[in-house]
A and B are shown apart, each in its own frame.
Chain A
Amino acid sequence: SQTIHQWPATLVQPVGSPLSLECTVEGTSNPNLYWYRQAAGRGLQLLFYSVGIGQISSEVPQNLSASRPQDRQFILSSKKLLLSDSGFYLCAWSVLKGTDTQYFGPGTRLTVL
């Protein structure tokens, strides 16, 4: 069966520090991968999605970036964190793009101080 992992589970970082969140999927090949952010008490915002290695689509212009160095690995990064980057970051995967069911990981709770 397929499983999706995210780490770290929680992270507290100072403003201006770099960020690297990792997401990996097991049990499937060539998944579509997604990064979402959920600000406190709010809905989900799609940040990036990827249909294959090295292929990244950005939904929201910001100081975050994403990379997919391996088929089942998706990384969210920032060179300098802002206070507004605080939130709950969720990674998801699907077999097909768009209309297929997306399955979510456990999330990373990021607090920028």
Chain B
Amino acid sequence: AQKVTQAQTEISVVEKEDVTLDCVYETRDTTYYLFWYKQPPSGELVFLIRRNSFDEQNEISGRYSWNFQKSTSSFNFTITASQVVDSAVYFCALSNYNTDKLIFGTGTRLQVFP
């Protein structure tokens, strides 16, 4: 069975704090893809990153970084020096060639206060 767990329902931080959003996944496939999306208050899902199961290198994009660890089936997302504009719901998702669709976690709501 394929599953994505985002155990943190809501996180509140003060601006400039670093924050990590956890994502744990389950799959029996050796080839799979992991994603992160951001959903700001406007509602549209914004694509952030796609990572395949054979690439365990950490990724950094500006203040965003992702830590992929197959040993713990985790794909965590860290925002460094958070800003109010980072306030949103963040979704982690999983896909593979067997499911033909994205399997989303339940999302983590991040609130960044000034």
Q: A83-108 CB contact bits vs B (8 Å, 1 = yes)?
A: 00000101010000111011111110
| A107 and B106 contact, CB distance less than 8 A | no
| B102 and A46 contact, CB distance less than 8 A | yes
Which partner residue on chain A sits nearest B33 by CB separation? A99
| B43 and A42 contact, CB distance less than 8 A | no
Contacts of A42 in B (CB 8 A): 106
| A59 and B101 contact, CB distance less than 8 A | yes
Which partner residue on chain B sits nearest A107 by CB separation? B43
Query: Is the CB of B30 closer than 8 A to any CB of chain A?
Result: no
Smallest distance from the beta carbon of A22 to chain B beta carbons, Å?
Answer: 16
| A106 and B91 contact, CB distance less than 8 A | no
Contacts of B61 in A (CB 8 A): none
Binding site for B on A (CB under 8 A): 34, 42-44, 46, 49, 59, 88, 90, 92, 97-99, 101-107, 109
Binding site for A on B (CB under 8 A): 32-33, 35, 37, 42-47, 50, 91, 95-97, 99-102, 104-107
Pairs of residues from A and B, 9 with the lowest C-beta to C-beta distance, nearest first: A98-B100, A104-B45, A43-B106, A107-B43, A44-B104, A106-B44, A99-B95, A99-B33, A101-B50
